[in-house]
Structure formats: C-alpha cells, structure tokens
Chain A
Amino acid sequence: MKLSVELVDLIFSFLVSHCGTLLTCSDIPELSQIVERHLYHYITVHFQSHSLCDSFYTSESTIPILVSLISENPRILHHVRVLRIRVILDHHYDFELERDLDVKQDLDNFAKTLLLFPALKCIELETSKKRPFSWPDVFRAALEDRLSLPILKELHIVGNQDFPCSLIDNRENIEDLVVSARGGFLDAEPQVCVSTEATLPQLKSLALLSLPYRQSFLPSIIPHAHRLRSFKCASSAVKLLPEFLGICSKTLNKLDIDFLHSDCKFQVSFGG
C-alpha cells in the first residue's frame, strides 16, 4: 500500500526534532524531497570568537557550510522555519576596544544571507550568559527586516544581550516572545519603549525564564502584553507574576509557573 504524499509529509512533520531519523530517510530517493522540507525546518548557525576556534567548542564556522548548502540547493531557504543564531564569546578576552569585533564582523557578513530566508516563523537569538553583548548595526538591520516578515510569529531572546525595543515595537506579527536574558531592552531607547504609537499589545504568549537586570525591562515589555493568553514565568521572574496578572488577567487562559530558583521555597535544616 502506498501512502499519499500528504500523509507521509504529515508523519515527517512530527519528526522535525529527530534529525538522525530525518537524515537517514533523506537518503531514500522516494522520500528525499518530502524529508528535505522537515530536515531544514530548524537550523542553528554558530558565531564564535576566533580565539575559540581551536578550543573544545568547535573547530570550524558553520557559515561556510550554510552558504555552500544554499548555493547547491537554494530550495533550502524556503524550508527553514526556525533559525537559531548562537553567539559564543571568549570569556577570557579582556581588551575592551577589540572585544567581540571578530564575531560582530562575522554577523555583519551574515546579514546578506539572513535576508535570503523568506519563510521564517521563529528567530532565536542566543548569546553567552557570562558576558554582555550588543548586536552590530548591519546585522541588526537585517534582523529587523526579517522580524517584519508577516509569517514570523515567534522571537526568542536568550543570554546576556542587549536588545533594542525596536525588535518588537510596531511589529504586529510577533505574537510569541521568550525572554531568558540578563541584559534586557536597551535603556538608550526609552522614548521608543514608552510611546503608545510605537507599542502594540500584540503578544499572545510570553515566557520569562529569568529576570533581566535592566530596570527598563518591565515598562518596556508590559505595553506589549495587555492581551496575553499564555504566560510562563520561571526562576526569579516568578516575582513579576502579580504585575502581569494585573494587566492581562482577563485574557489569560494558560499559566505555567516554574518555581526553580524562585524565592518561594520552603526550607528546613535538619539537626544533628
């Protein structure tokens, strides 16, 4: 019995996180085209300090691989739905002026490639937790362009990074936001954050997995969260729960609380 293409496609859609299975199935000529769609559903691109290139992290950049894959098979670009951009910094590099210049140059060079992805539904920005990082200008411009794609609904911000308010301001398409960041929205642009014209209550789901250090975080995010349906808070962000209940309790229908490392623990010391 031969299954329909639609049914096979649906079956493989459940396997997007099982890359080993997909890679194996992609070797079968009858399945390769269907599998390809799901194989490239979620890709991670690494950027790292050049001083780390010989370390245990990685020994080669993934950018040439991506460029090579795209040049040989441009269809890949249309299959990528989730793009994870991961920055790994050298924590031992202390020269302030030259700090992260190599990584930022690589990111700026990647900007042209980033603009080629037409069907992204989610972008994940992940940086190191130990060191603050700011996105370079050329890359940031390309990123903001992709964040305006109507089909892009989800943005993840992870690590110790500063992210400009403009990433979510005025973007009606971004409905799901995950923040696990120590940096937070840039203080440098408070006028954008508080402007009612620039902010939309567009977020349907918000996950705060840690509490950003910056004081401007809460006033920056709250204008976007008045119609939240789903809210997840974890760790130190649990203390923000009352703030969000105050603004979105009427629309909220899903709540997820992770008490790990929150202050709400119950502790007993044994004697002896």
Chain B
Amino acid sequence: MIFSIRIVSSKFLLVVDDATYPELLDFMSPTREVEHLPELSPVPPNLQQLTLRVVIYVEGDFQPTHYVSYLPAAIKAINTFASSVRHLTIELDLGVGCLPSYLALVDFSPLAALGALSIPRIDLYVHTDTRPPAVTLASLLSSLAPYDDVMKLIEEGKLVIHPEETAPDYLREEYLTLRDLLRSHKNVINS
C-alpha cells in the first residue's frame, strides 16, 4: 500500500491512503485538461492588471468524496493573457468545510506555472472557511517549496503571499444605513 505524506503545518501531518483514493494521483497531474473554459481571444494587447478569483473545495463529511478546483482554468487564463500584464492578483478561496485536514488534499501544483512568467508583481491571496483560519505563510511556503522558480519569485519579492486575506474587490462591502443615522439622531436629540 502506498501512502502520500504531506506537511500542512509544523504541527500537523496528514497521511493519505492512495489505494483508497487513487484519483488523488490523477488530479495531481498538471496536464489534465480543463473543460468548459471559453476560448480567450483576441488577447488584449494593453492588459495591465489581471485578477483571478478561484475556488477550490474538498467535500465529504467524514472522508473526502469530491475535489473541485478552478485553479487549472485560472492558470490557463493567466498563460493566455500574461504577455502584457504588469500586476497579477490571484485569490484562492479554499473550502474545506470544518475539516482543516482536507487542506492537505488541495493541489497547489498548477501554481508552478507562475515561475515561468515575467510579470513584475504577483499577489497571491489564500483564505479558508475554517475557524480559526488554517492557512499560514509557513504552510503555503511548504506547499510551494517543490517549485524552485516560484520560490525564486518569492525571494525576489515579485510574488507576495497574503495568507487568510481576500483580494481587494470591486464592490463596497459595508453599508451605512439610515437606521444607524436614526440611532445617532435620537442620541443627539436626547442629549
């Protein structure tokens, strides 16, 4: 029986039984084609900023049953548009339910493609739905350690990792309601 051992953090080890989950080896393969990605052409010649928001999740109550990742599609899009991009932002939303141990099943290997890019600035935001947050800089560096070109980008300061942060969004998230104002208004009147 073959076991894969992946280090998630300094305090946590997960042992995956490859005989029980043979497909794990399949999704590790970076050559696997992504279906349904629309043809991305023509390539905008002046594209400066590219942001990709990606969800990866592992499902299963007591043992993993499904693995869904949009990361290969995002990498395909990056490779298509990269020629003119000056600032690339990638946000990985890791859905592992209430089981941080599933983090060990997340396949970061498509990120190895970043090492071949010549984009001056790359921001990588990674966050989970677990409480307390399960992603640390150490665990991410551990996941990316096998990819020398990616590690070189980090050392050069071209790739910056933001653990447990979300990428800046287009839409406002907080709203001022009139009820807040009324509360203040009444306070003023009462005083």
B176 at the binding interface (Cβ < 8 Å)? yes
Which A residues are closer than 8 A to B by beta carbons? 16-20, 22-23, 26-27, 39-46, 58, 62, 65-66, 68-69, 82, 84, 156, 178, 207, 232, 234, 238-239, 241-242, 245-246, 248-260, 262-272
B68 with A266: CB separation less than 8 A: yes
- What residue of chain B has the Cβ atom nearest to residue A22's Cβ? B176
For residues 48 through 101 of chain B, which have their beta carbon under 8 Å from a beta carbon of chain A? Answer: 48-55, 60, 63-74, 77, 81, 93
Q: Which single member of A58, A242, A268 contacts B38 (CB below 8 Å)?
A: A242
Please indicate the chain B residues that have their CB under 8 angstroms from the CB of A27 in the complex: 187-188
B43 at the binding interface (Cβ < 8 Å)? yes
A255 with B53: CB separation less than 8 A: no
State whether A44 and B176 are in contact (beta carbons under 8 Å apart), knowing that A255-B49, A257-B53, A257-B74 are contacts in the complex. yes
| Interface flags, B14-25, vs A, CB<8A=1, else 0 | 000000111110
State whether A252 and B47 are in contact (beta carbons under 8 Å apart), knowing that A259-B53, A264-B34, A266-B69 are contacts in the complex. yes
Report the separation of the CA atoms of residues A265 and B187 in the bound assembly, to the nearest whole angstrom.
52
B42 at the binding interface (Cβ < 8 Å)? yes
9 A-B pairs with CB atoms under 8 Å apart are A43-B176, A82-B172, A255-B50, A260-B55, A264-B36, A264-B70, A265-B68, A265-B70, A265-B73
A253 with B48: CB separation less than 8 A: yes
B73 with A266: CB separation less than 8 A: yes
**Which bracket fits the contact residues of B?**
35 or more
Please indicate the chain A residues that have their CB under 8 angstroms from the CB of B64 in the complex: 270
B39 at the binding interface (Cβ < 8 Å)? yes
Interface of A is mostly: mixed
Please indicate the chain A residues that have their CB under 8 angstroms from the CB of B22 in the complex: 271
- What residue of chain B has the Cβ atom nearest to residue A62's Cβ? B178
Q: Which single member of A17, A23, A234 contacts B184 (CB below 8 Å)?
A: A23
Chain A nearest CB from B25 CB (Å) reads: 10
Report the separation of the CA atoms of residues A214 and B155 in the bound assembly, to the nearest whole angstrom.
49
B48 with A256: CB separation less than 8 A: no
A260 with B53: CB separation less than 8 A: yes
Chain A nearest CB from B139 CB (Å) reads: 22
State whether A242 and B23 are in contact (beta carbons under 8 Å apart), knowing that A255-B81, A266-B68 are contacts in the complex. no
B132 at the binding interface (Cβ < 8 Å)? no
Known: A245-B44, A270-B60. 10 other contacts (CB 8 A): A18-B174, A84-B175, A245-B43, A255-B47, A255-B81, A256-B53, A257-B51, A270-B24, A271-B20, A272-B20
- What residue of chain B has the Cβ atom nearest to residue A124's Cβ? B172
| Interface flags, B161-191, vs A, CB<8A=1, else 0 | 0000000001111111111111111011000
